[in-house]
């Protein structure tokens, strides 16, 4: 698994070509195809430190991801997950460039882990961001699935 703090997709050049590894996000820059419409309900609103706007962290279950949106409904960041049985695996976390450095990813991680605890789920941190977050936030250590 990559050791970078951001999740990424490793792509290798096909055989017969010069071998090189490229790191890129699996999502297009616009994120248009990955957005999820919530109608008028944005869930719990949280204020992120250093931001004048409030944000909503919601579980977009039909897309299998948690999303952070600002008060105008703009996507700020997300984490993809996969549930199987009593385990939830957090697979990819991403904050859109214009919102990076404002605590958005931490808010998503906190909300998703709190929800996992409330639902009695075990957590499998497949994403480097979640692995680092769980090392720093030992209050969630009891949730980690030993596999």
Please report which confidence band the pLDDT of residue 147 belongs to, taking 50, 70 and 90 as the band edges.
low
Q: Give the per-residue pLDDT at 83.
A: 95
Structural domain boundaries of the chain?
A: 42-141
Share of the chain above pLDDT 90, in %: 58
Q: How far apart are CA 127 and CA 144, in angstroms?
A: 13
Q: Give the per-residue pLDDT at 13.
A: 34
Q: Between 104-118 and 128-136, two packed helices, what is the crossing angle to 10 degrees?
A: 80
User: In the CATH hierarchy, which fold is given to the domain comprising 42-141?
Assistant: Aminopeptidase (3.40.630)
pLDDT, tens digit, 9 for 90 and up, residues 107-137: 999 999 999 999 999 999 999 999 999 999 9
pTM for this model (two decimals): 0.67
95, with CB counted inside 10 A (0-12, 13-18, 19+), is: buried
Q: How far apart are CA 7 and CA 25, in angstroms?
A: 8
Q: How far apart are CA 89 and CA 126, in angstroms?
A: 6
Q: Give the per-residue pLDDT at 31.
A: 40
* Stretch 82-105: mean pLDDT: 95
pLDDT, tens digit, 9 for 90 and up, residues 38-87: 333 344 444 444 444 588 999 999 999 999 999 999 999 999 999 999 99
* Stretch 84-94: mean pLDDT: 96
């Amino acid at each position: 698994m990559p050791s970078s703090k951001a999740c990424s997709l490793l792509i290798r050049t096909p055989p017969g070509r010069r071998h090189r590894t490229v790191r890129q996000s699996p999502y297009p820059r616009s994120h248009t195809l990955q957005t999820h419409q919530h109608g008028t309900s944005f869930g719990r609103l949280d204020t992120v430190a250093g931001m004048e706007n409030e944000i909503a962290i919601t579980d977009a279950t039909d897309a299998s991801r948690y999303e952070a949106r600002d008060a105008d409904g703009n996507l700020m960041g997300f984490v993809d997950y996969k549930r199987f049985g009593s385990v939830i695996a957090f697979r990819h976390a991403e904050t859109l460039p214009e919102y990076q450095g404002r605590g958005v990813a931490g808010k998503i991680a906190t909300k998703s882990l709190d929800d996992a605890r409330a639902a009695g789920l075990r957590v499998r941190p497949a994403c480097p961001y979640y692995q680092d977050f769980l090392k720093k936030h030992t209050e969630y250590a009891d949730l980690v699935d030993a596999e």
